[in-house]
A = this chain, B = another copy of it.
Amino acid sequence: MLDLRRLRLLRDLAHLGTIAAVAQAHTYTPSAVSQQLSALEREAGMPLLQRSGRRVTLTPAGELLVHHAEQVLTALERAGAALAAVGTGLTGPLRIGAFPTAVRTLLPAALVALGRDHPGLELMVTELDPAAVPGELRERRLDVGLLHDYDVAPVEPDPALDAMSILEETVYLATPASFTANPIGSVAVASDLPWIVGTPGTLCHTVAMRVCRAAAFTPRVRHHADDFTTVLALVAAGQGVALVPQLAATGPPSGVRLMPLAIQRRTRIAYRQGSATHPAVAASISAIRTSAKAYLGAASAY
């Protein structure tokens, strides 16, 4: 019988790429992970890993087993959710992860509602980049987390997670109030201005670069900033222009002008596959969706 902990390690190796990263995620040593995966190979009766330089990669059999491991872990998550539903499912920790703008705008009302309706829940919020949400959910350090992507830069769904749409936002070009241009709904109007974009490697950075390139220019990047409050302050100070999603653009500082673009940012709430029926997960989804609906108006939240 294939061991669950070993299946999890193999699954995580597929996501994280190295035994050392898996070890870190589990607070184990690399040696422990190496030995457990070797034991899994013996259980399976075939090689699941192959040496590739100083790393390991999965054999086709290993990749197949990862897929099946997800099914097993999903079934197990369902078992846990079902138990919680018949027990005292609305008590104990509920760990929510969200990006900074959402923590500031959506979560306060949701937390108030959850605390009022389910006083037994121990609510914990972690502010983190959406890129980190899948790993934290997978390692069970979060129960739900907010993800987003853009229609111009879609992010592939993670097989270990399910997600539910909570928000679709218009992306704006934020310009200093002193900037006057023909409002044509394209970033091309700012092609010769300095830009404020996200840290390289973040989705916000990728999107800004991709949108400008689609408008046939390379942006002159003056500043990098990830928090939109900061971004808008820099815009107001005349430091440049930036792409700003609607949630962050609500109630902008004076000195900023917003021009809507034909670009959408889509926010989802994600949770481990199989955990949708967990009462606490269901309650947090409901509360956050309600909060998003109220925050932006009914038209934006499906």
Binding site for B on A (CB under 8 A): 1-5, 7-8, 44-46, 60-61, 64-65, 68-69, 71-72, 74-76, 78-80, 82-83, 86-87, 140
Which one, B1, B44, B82, contacts A83 given CB within 8 A? B44
Q: Would A87 and B46 be within 8 Å (CB), given that A65-B79, A75-B75 are in contact?
A: yes
Q: Which residues of B contact A87 (CB under 8 A)?
A: 44-46, 61
A-B contact pairs, 25 of them (CB 8 A): A1-B4, A2-B79, A2-B80, A3-B4, A7-B79, A44-B83, A44-B87, A45-B83, A46-B83, A60-B86, A61-B83, A64-B82, A64-B86, A65-B79, A65-B83, A68-B79, A68-B82, A68-B83, A69-B79, A71-B75, A71-B78, A71-B79, A72-B72, A72-B76, A75-B75
Cα of A86 to Cα of B62 in the assembled complex, Å? 10
Contact in complex: A83, B71 (CB < 8 Å): no
Cα of A1 to Cα of B5 in the assembled complex, Å? 9
Shortest C-beta distance, A86 to chain B (Å), equals 5
Q: Which residues of B contact A2 (CB under 8 A)?
A: 76, 79-80
Q: Which residues of B contact A65 (CB under 8 A)?
A: 79, 82-83
Contact in complex: A72, B64 (CB < 8 Å): no
Q: What residue of chain B has the Cβ atom nearest to residue A72's Cβ?
A: B75
